[in-house]
Structure 1
């Protein structure tokens, strides 16, 4: 019999065995398909979410041939992509008048203009600020740039369309009316649109000439109507025929002063010799072309996922081989040798692995199509198309098939070594555990950890991925010993958990692969969660807030608006979730009477809070020798130094209240509780007594601060001419202060709180600015719009500001991988514990035969699942922390290099353990697996065939 004939027979036997045990076969297929599904969906999602340059061009141009913009430089030279351009000759010193853009278009071209203007409109709740764009949205050139979802495009005056995010935040719908509050013009929303490139945009669209021109006429006729401030118009151009806008057309437009982004030029770029900008600036052509940089975390997780496929399928084939051991024994009695027995088990790997790989790819593709709108919502833009690369999907399917075959390799070897007598009688025999395997595994674990850590310290993410996989393999080799120790833990436990632990230890060949499967799934989840939590902590540290947490501010735009503060305060206190008191704030400045809200250097004076020199006052990282010092500091030492009073103020910190870099405000003791969040009776008493409170002790020396003030004389200042006669005059004031702690690190934008009496005594000017409130939650869209309506009704000129926090809260790719890892974790725990229960069916039958009550059967099944899941989760947590820590070491190395170049740059690269995620995996998942196993286990066994 040839080799092919033998394998044909083995595959036929494996196929029939799979069809005969449909339940077990379905579990095996699911074990292989689950990781393949996740990798397939992640691959299609990643490829589709990453827009190609052509798709990005469509989002910019729509269906037009080109986009024309006035560069404002006169004649220019540009690169073919339109992103880089320079003026011909010297940069013009004065602002040039707008060019006649139509003269720059190709002959016979058709064009539509696009121009935006910020404005405020009425909503269902009040008034909202929104960007209004004048564009002929019904024109075919806008397709792909703007798409209609429902309703109709506007036609002429009195009509607009809005994006769905704006309609949702404003409480409006198609058919609602809005009023442009600065001009009083009323419009009807005729349709809802979306911007494929920005699904979160809140924009209103109107036809050209419908908003800006009438608003400008009203502003000219009525000085009470504020003038609009539209942006520079741009033009979507369609060339005659199908010629497109070629490179010669672009060069002609450049001579007129227009910069052009052309679809024809993008698809057929000119030779470098035809680009004038490269002749005058050769450096523009030497920029390196960077490929797609895959995040180090993604590389590591994908590397570990390949190993995970083998581990998820391993226990399934181990259980399947034992369930078929009688059939394999019969094969031996009929003359089959060990190689043929191994071939049958491996044939099962081919059959079930192939079915799982095909099912995983198909279901992964289907789920991506079904959940595409949800994924696009997470990404914030539409996919240009669903990118399916057959070669990559074929590789993923082959990978699933090959790893399924590899997963069946160990059970095949075990089945081939088993004697015919053991196979027929069902006896497993007694074998001593290998002492070499755990020792080797411990050595491999240590080696992998060293490789990963070395990769982290050297900045090589490939070594991190390789070392993490090697370490996980070493940990896998130690699992049988770890499982064997579980039996010793149950000596004093009740019956069911004691039997579950001893059963796990006695059947290590079944328990160890199941634990390994759960461990692999959890390791990926923990690695992603740890890296994301650490990155977010670093982002939060580097972020400079404008306000303290749980605070909102009400601010006036000018002195006239400040007179309307009482009405605005009433609106805020009635509408917002104000939970604490109110602190009124005034701005302070030196000099003559001027517009403090928009500082004019020619008429206003200046103030400077002088920082003493010497230790404790001067920041070493901003002094001479800072680079040498930074080269010697560790990341923790650098962070500690940046948090000292002398250095914490060196980072840019502004707030709503600052008029200059001194960050001094005039307020009373209520400001301490409301904004500073500092309960300091001594500081409150000092403010009441007229003593300023300093929030950064580095500016104080011997309990005093020095303030330099330059008073400039303004001839129009008739009110204060007696106070500041003559030319500019500089005064220096030294006065005592109360130094508050913890100080400036927790109070962004405010360095010193000055009582009104002190400002008057020093001859400084103050102007009411606004108020600060403590709120229970950030203002909602409805609350903000209601307050805006009340302020507008009172006369306008004021606004409410809240702290939005750091904008970047993580990568969408990491979010997608986290979701997939979570699904694999739950699936692995459920399926592997189900297989363990199937393998222990004989033990459960024996338990019932000796008189155990039904609840013992249920509780034993539950504890068996709990043991497998809990052990796998705990080991997976350890395995997942290693790559996350190593990747953070890569980030630390990069941060330290940046710090040595720029000493004030933060080198803070924390490693944050996501305890909520780990707690969820370590507690909820095992308990859920155990409870489900207990619930779905039959209390009474069914009729079983007698063995033997």
Structure 2
């Protein structure tokens, strides 16, 4: 008899059983198909976004044969791909390498077009914006693939431009709009919208060669106030003669002329190393990261398989239990245990195959449907939709194998049942094994100890190993934990009491679902905790240029300061500012160093002398700082770094930086708006002519020492006449109002001096700008309006705002939370569905004895809550182990760096992501319970009990 005869019968039985139990089969297929769908979509997306060599070359050089550039080194040698190159001979003195004459570098008979880029200010629908203008014949066939037209027409002639879509969106312009390049004083019509396939987020304008740079250069030649364009070195796209292209001999000849060449033919068919002079000097590529990437990939795949097995396994167990009479009949007909196992495994094979095929097909359709969104998110176009049949076959095979693995444990359990138990429907009574939870508890303790040891010793490998062991130990303890849940419901109402006891009684169904939730939540909480902690560390180490919620309008010189009233009006009219501006003036002694910097010893200076000794000198900068740092804990070091005497050593100079030690002339409004010092005593001191010192480390007995050097440049005729005589140095002792220690952290501002005090000391002052309080960072339209107003006023002014990094990876935290939430909902829903299918007899009995209809709904809801909440809480505990241990590793490294350089920050906080934990621990279980209760029918149609 053929060995496959029994399997054919088993497959038929499994197929018919799957068709009969459509709901349970759909759950299993969905659990297998969803991960397969995700992996398929990720594979196709990765292959499509990762451009091939041909697509990369097209994005760089269009349809040309080569891209020539001048690195300014003279004769050089290069690798075939152009990524590495070196000059031939000794390094020439700076400025002695003449530009390359590309006519001698191009192959004979070749055709070339140039690419030249220049930064410029252009008018927009709102005002004025800074962008890059590229002179490039976009209508030339060689440009296809490098710059593509998506709307309108390519520019033709000197009065037209094309723009990228991001530029048009930020500027408020469109096809047909006109824009003026300020320096060139020329107006252009936007005729089309173009895109760079490899950079969809670029803000650029495109014009034909000679349309912008030449008029700009002519304007600079006519008007000395107009700065010439800063174009840098141009590039050339080259089409070789005939169909020969640009070969390696052409590249070598161009290298001798000083040109760097990226040739399509050479990159796709590189010469042997023996023909590449630079190959002997270049080290082989580093592939050390490939092993780590492979390990990460294996880990991700293994975790995905574990999730499916944990979630789909109970469904097969319930299916085997519901079909136990059928399996018993197999035994009465002469079948043995291996035939029973074959029937259950065949169910895994059938459903796994359906899930795998469905997942692959759905993944392909999903990728095609979301391709535009993926391209916008990635910032580049797919060269083509790349589908690797071999990889998709492997992915489908993994889905199939996963179905078999999920059915393996239920198959073994079903085969162990006696025929009598199967036919009568009795489950029997089995005691829970005490070995597994004992081993799990030991593994949990050992894993936590190893992870903590790895963290304190700085070994991340031990951390990873210990975390895995701890999580596996916790997995082994889940059946016991689930069993203990039944004891918690003694005093609860009927529905929650039944839900807890049902979960405890059916551990084989509940424990895997709880484990799946725990595994998903543990990973998400671990990453979220580590990211929240590193973001808190980044916030601590960040040195702001301005205080939070402020914006500074500054003048570059005395002439531009005359335009401050007009600029202030524009800012207040076009931006969301709160309150009146706080004006300030800069202060200096002698001749202004910012103006006469080219004359040695021709400038005056002001120095705020810092006293020495305790309370003034930072201990981390004094003698013996390394020995002191070696004795400090991280918290002690953090507190010392935040003292006024140490803070001034590393805090940014900010917007008010000058030779005057961050001193400005201002009034109480500057203290309130910028320093956030709303103190009547400080305001009264300024009005009385007493300076306000924000960093108390510079004061001794309520006084500061100001060293003033009055020196005048020979070019500063005006001030030399007002202050004749030789240079002199004065040491002034001034009584000051000393602010509290917290105000030493004010960026760029150390002391505010009254105007009359500056005049009394013989110092010069000049209006320098205004500080505004703003509720949010300026938008593009607001900045463009103000820039236009400043330009109309004569220029020389600029706005400075605090530029923090966006949402700082909050998107990643959101995705992790959503992923864990979806898995939690799915696991809870599947378990609840299986519980309903597995407990129909109990529900029928409840209805028969008169239980209200709502009991069914509330029971389903509480069953869902039990699984979700238990899994989330265990997952949170499991996820904190690797996160905390890895932060301990970071702390050790930070302490080592601090002891080498005492001013290095050793602050390594551990911050729990309470928003993520709260969402998972409260919102998701409640949502799961509400959905389960809402989707459950209240009334049950009574049926005759079988058997």
- Please say whether Structure 1 and Structure 2 have the same fold, judged by a TM-score greater than 0.5: yes
Q: Deviations over 1:636-674 (max 9, x none)?
A: 454444333333333361322213593333322222222
Which stretch has the larger CA shift, 568-577 or 361-370? Answer: 361-370
The equivalent of 2:186 in structure 1 is 185
Q: 1:373 to 1:302 in 2, by over 3 A?
A: same
The equivalent of 2:253 in structure 1 is 252
The equivalent of 2:840 in structure 1 is 841
Cα offset, 1:722, TM superposition: 4.3
Q: 1:742 to 1:629 in 2, by over 3 A?
A: closer
| Contact kept in structure 2, 1:686 and 1:693, CA below 8 Å | yes
User: Could you tell me how far apart the structure 2 residues matched to 1:244 and 1:23 are?
Assistant: 63
Cα offset, 1:755, TM superposition: 2.7
| Contact kept in structure 2, 1:299 and 1:465, CA below 8 Å | no
Q: Deviations over 1:495-535 (max 9, x none)?
A: 32222222222222222222222222222322332233233
Query: Is residue 568 from structure 1 mapped to residue 593 from structure 2 by the alignment?
Result: no
| Contact kept in structure 1, 2:647 and 2:745, CA below 8 Å | no
The equivalent of 2:10 in structure 1 is 10
User: Could you tell me how far apart the structure 2 residues matched to 1:299 and 1:762 are?
Assistant: 72
Q: 1:135 to 1:609 in 2, by over 3 A?
A: farther
Q: Deviations over 1:211-270 (max 9, x none)?
A: 111122223334555543333322222222343434443343333333333334433445
Q: How does 1:130-529 map to 2 (within 5 A)?
A: 130-223=131-224, 225-270=226-271, 272=273, 274-276=275-277, 282=281, 284-285=282-283, 288=286, 290-292=288-290, 294=293, 304-456=303-455, 463-529=462-528
Cα offset, 1:84, TM superposition: 4.1
After superposition, the CA RMSD in angstroms is 3.2
User: Could you tell me how far apart the structure 2 residues matched to 1:119 and 1:885 are?
Assistant: 49
The equivalent of 1:860 in structure 2 is 859
Q: What secondary structure sits across from 1:285 in the alignment?
A: coil
User: Could you tell me how far apart the structure 1 residues matched to 2:414 and 2:906 are?
Assistant: 56
Which stretch has the larger CA shift, 15-24 or 140-149? Answer: 140-149
| Contact kept in structure 1, 2:111 and 2:241, CA below 8 Å | yes
The equivalent of 2:695 in structure 1 is 696
The equivalent of 2:34 in structure 1 is 34
| Contact kept in structure 2, 1:744 and 1:750, CA below 8 Å | no
Q: How does 1:513-912 map to 2 (within 5 A)?
A: 513-593=512-592, 595=594, 603-623=602-622, 635-651=634-650, 653-660=652-659, 662-722=661-721, 724-725=723-724, 728-743=727-742, 746-806=745-805, 809-810=808-809, 820=819, 823-896=822-895, 898-899=897-898, 902-912=901-911
Cα offset, 1:167, TM superposition: 0.9
Which stretch has the larger CA shift, 770-779 or 345-354? Answer: 345-354
User: Could you tell me how far apart the structure 2 residues matched to 1:648 and 1:138 are?
Assistant: 57
Cα offset, 1:47, TM superposition: 5.0
Count of aligned residue pairs for this structure pair: 945
User: Could you tell me how far apart the structure 2 residues matched to 1:181 and 1:759 are?
Assistant: 40
The equivalent of 1:61 in structure 2 is 61
| Contact kept in structure 1, 2:314 and 2:509, CA below 8 Å | yes
Cα offset, 1:285, TM superposition: 3.1
The equivalent of 1:89 in structure 2 is 90
Which stretch has the larger CA shift, 517-526 or 19-28? Answer: 517-526
Cα offset, 1:27, TM superposition: 0.2
In structure 1, stretches of 5+ residues that fail to align are: none
Q: 1:801 to 1:294 in 2, by over 3 A?
A: farther
User: Could you tell me how far apart the structure 1 residues matched to 2:308 and 2:599 are?
Assistant: 67
Cα offset, 1:26, TM superposition: 0.9
Q: 1:470 to 1:790 in 2, by over 3 A?
A: same
Cα offset, 1:744, TM superposition: 5.5
User: Could you tell me how far apart the structure 2 residues matched to 1:392 and 1:635 are?
Assistant: 49
Cα offset, 1:210, TM superposition: 0.6
Cα offset, 1:132, TM superposition: 1.3
Cα offset, 1:940, TM superposition: 0.9
Q: What secondary structure sits across from 1:586 in the alignment?
A: strand
Q: 1:399 to 1:151 in 2, by over 3 A?
A: same
Which stretch has the larger CA shift, 816-825 or 795-804? Answer: 816-825
Q: What secondary structure sits across from 1:67 in the alignment?
A: strand
Q: 1:395 to 1:822 in 2, by over 3 A?
A: farther
User: Could you tell me how far apart the structure 1 residues matched to 2:705 and 2:330 are?
Assistant: 97
| Contact kept in structure 2, 1:296 and 1:887, CA below 8 Å | no
| Contact kept in structure 1, 2:59 and 2:198, CA below 8 Å | yes
Which stretch has the larger CA shift, 504-513 or 594-603? Answer: 594-603
User: Could you tell me how far apart the structure 2 residues matched to 1:205 and 1:344 are?
Assistant: 68
Which stretch has the larger CA shift, 159-168 or 253-262? Answer: 253-262
Which stretch has the larger CA shift, 408-417 or 154-163? Answer: 408-417
Q: 1:400 to 1:475 in 2, by over 3 A?
A: farther
User: Could you tell me how far apart the structure 2 residues matched to 1:801 and 1:159 are?
Assistant: 33
| Contact kept in structure 2, 1:521 and 1:828, CA below 8 Å | no
User: Could you tell me how far apart the structure 2 residues matched to 1:56 and 1:620 are?
Assistant: 54
User: Could you tell me how far apart the structure 1 residues matched to 2:604 and 2:650 are?
Assistant: 25
Cα offset, 1:603, TM superposition: 4.5
| Contact kept in structure 1, 2:694 and 2:750, CA below 8 Å | yes
Q: 1:324 to 1:182 in 2, by over 3 A?
A: same
Q: What secondary structure sits across from 2:649 in the alignment?
A: coil
User: Could you tell me how far apart the structure 1 residues matched to 2:146 and 2:538 are?
Assistant: 33
Q: 1:33 to 1:879 in 2, by over 3 A?
A: farther
| Contact kept in structure 2, 1:546 and 1:656, CA below 8 Å | yes
Q: Deviations over 1:304-341 (max 9, x none)?
A: 43432321222222222222222222223323223322
User: Could you tell me how far apart the structure 2 residues matched to 1:901 and 1:196 are?
Assistant: 47
Cα offset, 1:598, TM superposition: 8.2
Q: Deviations over 1:8-51 (max 9, x none)?
A: 33233222211221211110111122233333434444555455
User: Could you tell me how far apart the structure 2 residues matched to 1:630 and 1:297 are?
Assistant: 38
Q: Deviations over 1:796-822 (max 9, x none)?
A: 332323222036824998887666555
User: Could you tell me how far apart the structure 2 residues matched to 1:247 and 1:623 are?
Assistant: 60
Q: 1:55 to 1:463 in 2, by over 3 A?
A: farther
User: Could you tell me how far apart the structure 1 residues matched to 2:544 and 2:806 are?
Assistant: 11
Q: 1:228 to 1:310 in 2, by over 3 A?
A: same
User: Could you tell me how far apart the structure 2 residues matched to 1:916 and 1:729 are?
Assistant: 62
Cα offset, 1:916, TM superposition: 0.8
User: Could you tell me how far apart the structure 1 residues matched to 2:385 and 2:901 are?
Assistant: 43
Q: Deviations over 1:884-915 (max 9, x none)?
A: 33444444455455555555444444332211
- TM-score, length-scaled by structure 1: 0.92
Q: What secondary structure sits across from 2:656 in the alignment?
A: coil
- TM-score, length-scaled by structure 2: 0.92
Q: 1:761 to 1:533 in 2, by over 3 A?
A: same
In structure 2, stretches of 5+ residues that fail to align are: none
Which stretch has the larger CA shift, 398-407 or 107-116? Answer: 398-407
Q: What secondary structure sits across from 2:120 in the alignment?
A: strand
User: Could you tell me how far apart the structure 1 residues matched to 2:558 and 2:787 are?
Assistant: 19
User: Could you tell me how far apart the structure 2 residues matched to 1:727 and 1:145 are?
Assistant: 65
| Contact kept in structure 1, 2:616 and 2:645, CA below 8 Å | yes
User: Could you tell me how far apart the structure 2 residues matched to 1:176 and 1:794 are?
Assistant: 25
Q: 1:804 to 1:860 in 2, by over 3 A?
A: same
User: Could you tell me how far apart the structure 1 residues matched to 2:894 and 2:61 are?
Assistant: 39
